[in-house]
Amino acid sequence: MSSSPSQYNGQYHSVKGNVVEAIGNATGAQTWTDSGRKEHAEGEAEQQAAQARDYVEGASDRVEGKYNAVKGALFDDKGQQISGNAQHDAGKTKQQINA
C-alpha cells in the first residue's frame, strides 16, 4: 500500500481481499483464504486512516476559514471574509462526509 492512506485504495484492497478469500474458501486453498483475509483487513485499516486524516483536514479548514472570515470582517475585506466562510463551510462538509 502507498505511504499516504487513500480511501479509494483502501476500498479496492478491501474488496479484492474479499474476492481472494472467497476463492480460497471455494477451492480449499488456505493460503488464498489467509492472503485475502489479510488484504481485506489492511484495506479496511487504510480506508479508516484516510477517513480520519480527511476529518482532521476538515477541522483545520474550518478553523482557518473562520479565522480568515473574522479577519476579513475586522479589516473590511469582503473578499477575504467570503473566502474564509467558503473554506469554513468546505471543511465542515469534509468533516460530515468523514464522520
Q: What is the pLDDT of residues 55-93, one digit of tens each?
A: 999 999 999 999 999 999 999 999 999 999 999 999 999
Look at residue 1 in the predicted model and tell me its pLDDT: 45
pLDDT band at 3 (very low <50, low <70, confident <90, very high): confident
The pTM assigned to this predicted structure is: 0.79
Boundaries of every domain in the chain: 7-97
Q: Please answer whether residues 2 and 31 qualify as being in contact, where contact means their C-beta atoms are separated by less than 8 angstroms.
A: no
DSSP state of 4: S
CA–CA separation, 77 and 33 (whole Å): 61
